[in-house]
Amino acid sequence: MGTLYLDIGNQCVHCRQDTSFGSGRFVNRYPAEILDEENDITLDGYCCDICEQEYINSLDKEEKSRYLEEEREG
């Protein structure tokens, strides 16, 4: 059986918080999908800015530089 696909709507794929308008997490959210390997499910929703910033802050200097360069290049 293949990977299941689950649309979680306006939830953040990382923290599962609501990112809809008026939630406080709407600004700077972006569409995202991740594979939940443990359950073999692809989650489709959004990534909130709070989770994005936590991820960026967890990177070492070289990884952060590479990540931000890729973001600028689009």
pLDDT in 10s for each residue of the chain, 74 residues: 578 999 999 999 999 999 999 999 999 999 999 998 888 999 999 999 999 999 999 999 999 999 989 888 87
In the chain, what are the domain boundaries?
A: 4-73
For helices 49-58 and 61-73, the axis angle rounded to 10 degrees is 130
Cβ pair 46, 10 in contact under 8 A: yes
pLDDT of residue 1: 59
Tell me if the pTM is above 0.85: no
Which DSSP category does 40 fall into?
T
Nearest Cα neighbor of 39 from 13, 4, 74, 1 is 4
Burial of 6 (0-12, 13-18, 19+ CB in 10 A): middle
Tokens 């972006």: give the residue.
30
